[in-house]
Amino acid sequence: METSATTPVVGVLLADSHQSQRQWLAGALRRRTDFQITACEFGWEAIIEAAASAPVEVAVMNAGRPGTGWPDLSILRRVHLALPQLAVILLLDFYDQDLIVNAFRSGVRGLFCLADSPLRMLCKCIHSVHRGEIWASNQQLLYLLESVAQVPSLRVMNSHGRKALTPREAQVVALVADGLSNREVARELNLSEHTVKKYLFRIFEKLEISSRVELALFAVNHGGQRAAEWVAGA
């Protein structure tokens, strides 16, 4: 396919564990002269290895968990922390408000559904996020605006009016309150499971509680409003 002489060649990483879709999409994009395609399975090690093997600027990822349809956002967050310069487009089979908000919190720059839009629109999406733009519908942007005003705060104060938790401890509380296990919290924050246990021990001690259930209730009862933030793991 011929493209304009002014159209930049974009290094695209295609990560999809569905082999047939990955092969079809890689083949279709490789027919264009404005893309240089690197393809791999969707997985932490595969993505990092592929990103190191070729110059890539945009990633198109299908993060769907087999049998559920819901994407694995924990890997997207890890990719965003490790490769912040990589603009990620998430392929989705459906749009859900919480999914959309959490996807953008995980560092995604665009959302795309192949069932709803032709391939040429995906190509336009790739070039848009490569230019630093966000690819989202008006409704999806509305979800994001609503979430900014409703993100629960965990800036817990002690009896002296000082913050009771560090930013990292606040993140651990937020993830535990969402029902994540120690292992899942460790994966989200790029920490060891042992380190997460140490954080929980200190949090329990600071807040004078003794169980994860109490911690979740504490987070709900002491929530305020603040913008979402992530502290990079070691």
Q: How confident is the model at residue 95 (pLDDT cuts 50, 70, 90)?
A: confident
Domain, as residue range, for 184 = 152-225
H/E segment holding residue 14 = strand 10-16
Same domain, residue pair 112 and 177: no
Residue 130 pLDDT > 80 = yes
Largest CA distance in the chain: 67
pLDDT attached to residue 231? 52
The C-alpha atoms of residue 16 and residue 47 are separated, in whole angstroms, by 10
Residue 109 pLDDT > 80 = yes
Among the three residues 100, 117, 147, which one is the final residue of a domain in this structure? 147
Same domain, residue pair 188 and 83: no
Q: Number of folded domains in the chain? A: 2
Tokens describing residue 105: 């919190």
Burial class, 216, CB count within 10 angstroms (exposed 0-12 / middle 13-18 / buried 19+): middle
Same domain, residue pair 66 and 92: yes
Query: Cβ distance 73 to 186 under 8 Å?
Result: no
More confident residue, 46 or 97: 46
Query: Cβ distance 62 to 18 under 8 Å?
Result: yes
In this prediction the pTM is 0.65
Lowest average pLDDT, out of 2-11, 51-60, 97-106, goes to 2-11
Does residue 16 lie within any of the structural domains?
Answer: yes
Look up the CATH number of the domain holding residue 25: 3.40.50.2300
Residue 226 pLDDT > 60 = no
| pLDDT tens readout for residues 63-91 | 887 666 678 888 898 899 899 999 999 99
Q: How confident is the model at residue 157 (pLDDT cuts 50, 70, 90)?
A: low
Residue 225 pLDDT > 60 = no
Query: Cβ distance 79 to 86 under 8 Å?
Result: yes
Same domain, residue pair 157 and 41: no
Does residue 96 lie within any of the structural domains?
Answer: yes
Same domain, residue pair 100 and 162: no
Residue 218 pLDDT > 70 = yes
Residue 141, amino acid: L
Same domain, residue pair 103 and 86: yes
Among the three residues 147, 165, 184, which one is the final residue of a domain in this structure? 147
Q: Secondary structure of the chain: what % helix, strand, coil (to 5)?
A: 45, 15, 35
Query: Cβ distance 109 to 88 under 8 Å?
Result: yes
Q: How confident is the model at residue 123 (pLDDT cuts 50, 70, 90)?
A: very high
Tokens describing residue 56: 């890539």
Token pair 């008006």 is found at 138
pLDDT attached to residue 151? 39
Does residue 3 lie within any of the structural domains?
Answer: no
Does residue 1 lie within any of the structural domains?
Answer: no
